[in-house]
Structure 1
């Protein structure tokens, strides 16, 4: 394994995951409402989508990446709709009562939701197209082994961030009252909806 390539993947994965956006808010809300594992699983969904886009760009799959960029307005519109729905659901979600176990919630649903939202965001692939040359990563004609090493680094870097973030936030859950959890859900839901509305406004203006 090329340690340098793997390390670059980790750095880029962290760089992509750290900025706070609607998906970060969703993962944080799930970590607070359902426990740290729900937030981490949601974050792994984000890391999966990021890794998929990293593979597409690294291998130089110009047909796929070109199609995504060409139809980016459609993908962004879909992402807006999903954000509206998720934000509304988060806003209306009542904190579970003490007698209910967070594990009763679906981890698979947590994972698939964030995968779908992340894949519907074509800006991710533009991020990779811009940042890979800056890191000196040469991806045209690269082998599948090199691609696997780089993508594994991106995945590990992203997952590492979500473990740190959601693990830290989830540890505060036991100290929050039901009213505080409800307020967190409402604030998170409103912010997610507002970000979706902002994305929609940019689409309409363009």
Structure 2
């Protein structure tokens, strides 16, 4: 139980900094309500869970290879740039009043969470953190330690998402359509900013190979 609680706190700490997934969650939560904001978070956690399974079965060595990680910077940049552009272009569309039922597909926002979560930053985190946890579990011969740690971190991230989106849902009720539109545009610009950062990291990672 102590291990589980410890990793819940780690999960909360990881989720607190504002990143691309948080931006997309807030935007969808304001435009379409709690469920659609949460769908983005579930999409992100699906990628997290997939990486945990891959690491558990020994995939860390493959995922840490430069020629696997470097292309992901560019792929992630492409996904984020697309979502940012779409957020700005459709800033005044798909806004559902708080007292109305949204027509937007749950799967569409879940897919956005998947796209945002496919990034090298996410990959590096799981390889580094869970690589260490997995090694520790093997050393102590406690095969369940890795699973408990994984469940704890995912529970912490889930708790953060629920609290954040509960606040967003309350805020949504007092925001005008114009205010939500402005937030959507700002979210789009932030996602494009993350995309440009990914391109920058891609170039930095590629430079040593271009010089050789």
TM-score normalised according to structure 1 size: 0.83
| Cα deviation, residue 11, structure 1 | 2.4
- Where structure 2 has 5 or more consecutive residues not aligned to the other structure, the ranges are 206-212
- Identify the residue that residue 45 of structure 1 maps to in structure 2: 43
* Residue 109 (str. 1) matches residue 85 (str. 2): no
- Identify the residue that residue 210 of structure 2 maps to in structure 1: none
Greater relative CO (CA pairs within 8 A, separation 6+): 1
Matches of 2:98 and 2:25, distance apart in 1? 23
Equivalent residue pairs, number: 202
- Where structure 1 has 5 or more consecutive residues not aligned to the other structure, the ranges are none
* Residue 78 (str. 1) matches residue 111 (str. 2): no
Conserved 8 A contact 1:31-1:39: yes
| C-alpha distance 98-35 of structure 1, shift in aligned 2 (>3 A) | closer
| Cα deviation, residue 102, structure 1 | 4.6
- Identify the residue that residue 15 of structure 2 maps to in structure 1: 17
The farther-off stretch of 104-113 and 57-66 is 57-66
Matches of 2:171 and 2:60, distance apart in 1? 45
| Cα deviation, residue 109, structure 1 | 1.9
* Residue 172 (str. 1) matches residue 171 (str. 2): yes
SS in 1 for 2:136: coil
Q: Deviations over 1:29-70 (max 9, x none)?
A: 111111122111211222222233334445543344335x54
- Identify the residue that residue 154 of structure 1 maps to in structure 2: 153
| C-alpha distance 169-150 of structure 1, shift in aligned 2 (>3 A) | same
| C-alpha distance 199-125 of structure 1, shift in aligned 2 (>3 A) | closer
* Residue 87 (str. 1) matches residue 89 (str. 2): no
The farther-off stretch of 93-102 and 75-84 is 93-102
| Cα deviation, residue 145, structure 1 | 4.0
**Over the residues paired in the alignment, what is the CA RMSD in angstroms?**
2.8
| C-alpha distance 134-152 of structure 1, shift in aligned 2 (>3 A) | closer
Conserved 8 A contact 2:29-2:169: yes
The farther-off stretch of 80-89 and 132-141 is 132-141
| Cα deviation, residue 122, structure 1 | 2.4
| C-alpha distance 130-85 of structure 1, shift in aligned 2 (>3 A) | same
Matches of 1:80 and 1:33, distance apart in 2? 24
Matches of 1:13 and 1:56, distance apart in 2? 19
Matches of 1:15 and 1:185, distance apart in 2? 26
